[in-house]
Amino acid sequence: MPSEGWSRRDFLKGVSASAALTKAALGTQDAHAQEKPDPETAAVVEHLPAAGAPLAFTLNGEAKNLTVEPRRTLLDLLRQDLGLTGPKEVCDRGACGACTVIRDGKPIVACMVLAHDCAGAKLETIEGIGTKEMPHPLQRAFVECDALQCGFCTPGMVTALKCLLDHEPNPSLDQIKKAVSGNVCRCGTYPRIFEAAQRAAKVSSR
């Protein structure tokens, strides 16, 4: 069978081989056993608890103490285990920004981050930014400017811009564009998104 290109597993193996991450973040588990183990990572695999390792972080202001499989991505942890379906899985390769969450004040794509790389971090998702009853000015502006159509990219867009406004309360148009340049909207709402970000900045700075 021809190669199917890069799988996430290949990616993780590559990462592990480069030893860029902590040992706890490496590896695979039992289900991979039918494949010949990579000699470089085999030793690590043996030491990993298959069912998961302890992981603690703050999620939308709430302390979380979990047991998480080492291979779990942050996005799968949020969506599948913790039931936070605001961040969306679209490309699963860090190319679209739909799964954007904020880690220690910086936007990250949760599909490309291992959950264990968030140990001790402060995480913020769309669910923590505002609610229907108490929306963030950005969320209100998104609605007023119609900066959304199907809405599937919207959580990622709002999250990326929230992060921008936290650091830069009066962003220029270029800064706004740059902040969402990693976020894809297929319906084509970009001009409305720029408008919404500017409107929210104005409201917040009042």
Partner 1 sequence: MSDEKITLGFEGHRVEKTARVANGQPRPWDLDSKLEVVGKKHPRVDGLLKATGKARYTHDVRLPGMLWGVIVRSPYAAALVKKVSLEKALAAPGVKAAIRIARDRVHYHGDEVAALCATSLELAREAARLVEVEYEVLPHVVTAEEARRADAPRVFPKRENALAGRAQKHGDVDAGLAKSDKTVHATYRTQVQTQSALETHGLVAHWEDATTLTIHASTQGTFSVREGLAREFGLKDSDVRVLAEHVGGGFGAKFGPGVEGVAAAKLAREAKAPVWLMVDRKGNHLACGNRPDSTQEMTGGIAKDGSLLALKVSSYGTGGVAAGSSGVANPMVYKVPNVEKREESVVTNGGGARAFRAPGHPQGFFALEQMVDELADAIGMDPLEVRVKNDPSEIRQREWQIGADAIGWKEKRNREPGKGGPIVRGVGCAATRWGGQGGPAAAVHVRVDEDGTVEARSGAQDIGTGTRTVIATVVAEELGLVSPSDVRVAVGDTRDPIGPGSGGSRTASSIAPAARTAAFQVREALWRALAKQKLVTEESSAGAFSQGKVMLADRTVPFAEAVRLSGKKGFQWIGERIQNDREAAFHESGVAGCQFAEVEVDLETGKVKVVKVVAVQDAGTIVDALTAESQVIGGVIQGVGYALFEERIMDRRSGRVLNADMLHYKIPTAEDCPEIVPLLFPVAAGGNNVGLLGIGEPPTVPTAAAIANAVANATGVRVRELPLTPARVLAALATRDAAPALTPAKKVWR
Binding site for partner 1 (CB under 8 A): 1-2, 4, 30-32, 34, 69, 71, 76, 79-80, 83, 85-93, 95-96, 98, 125-127, 129-132, 135, 138-140, 142-144, 146, 148-155, 158, 176-178, 180-194
Tokens 């290109």 sit on residue: 5
**What is the nearest approach in angstroms of partner 1 to the Cβ of residue 63?**
21
Instruction: Indicate the residue among 94 and 119 with the shorter CB distance to partner 1.
Output: 94
Which tokens in the block code for residue 168? 């830069």
**What is the nearest approach in angstroms of partner 1 to the Cβ of residue 40?**
21
Collapse the DSSP code of 59 into the 3-class scheme (helix H, G, I; strand E, B; otherwise coil) and give the result. strand
Q: What is d(CA 129, CA 142) in angstroms, rounded to the nearest whole number?
A: 13
Which tokens in the block code for residue 58? 């703050």
> Is residue 37 within 8 Å of residue 45, measured between CB atoms?
yes
Instruction: Indicate the residue among 40 and 81 with the shorter CB distance to partner 1.
Output: 81
**What is the nearest approach in angstroms of partner 1 to the Cβ of residue 119?**
21
**What is the nearest approach in angstroms of partner 1 to the Cβ of residue 188?**
3
**What is the nearest approach in angstroms of partner 1 to the Cβ of residue 4?**
7
**What is the nearest approach in angstroms of partner 1 to the Cβ of residue 76?**
7
Instruction: Indicate the residue among 107 and 127 with the shorter CB distance to partner 1.
Output: 127
- Count of CB atoms situated within 10 Å of the CB of 90: 18
Q: What is d(CA 92, CA 112) in angstroms, rounded to the nearest whole number?
A: 8
Instruction: Indicate the residue among 19 and 191 with the shorter CB distance to partner 1.
Output: 191
> Is residue 155 within 8 Å of residue 86, measured between CB atoms?
yes
Instruction: Indicate the residue among 82 and 120 with the shorter CB distance to partner 1.
Output: 82
Instruction: Indicate the residue among 55 and 120 with the shorter CB distance to partner 1.
Output: 55
Cα–Cα distances (Å) from 122 to 8, 102, 166, 190, 206, in that order, read 25, 8, 15, 29, 28
- Count of CB atoms situated within 10 Å of the CB of 34: 6
Backbone angles phi, psi at 177, to 5 degrees: -60, -40
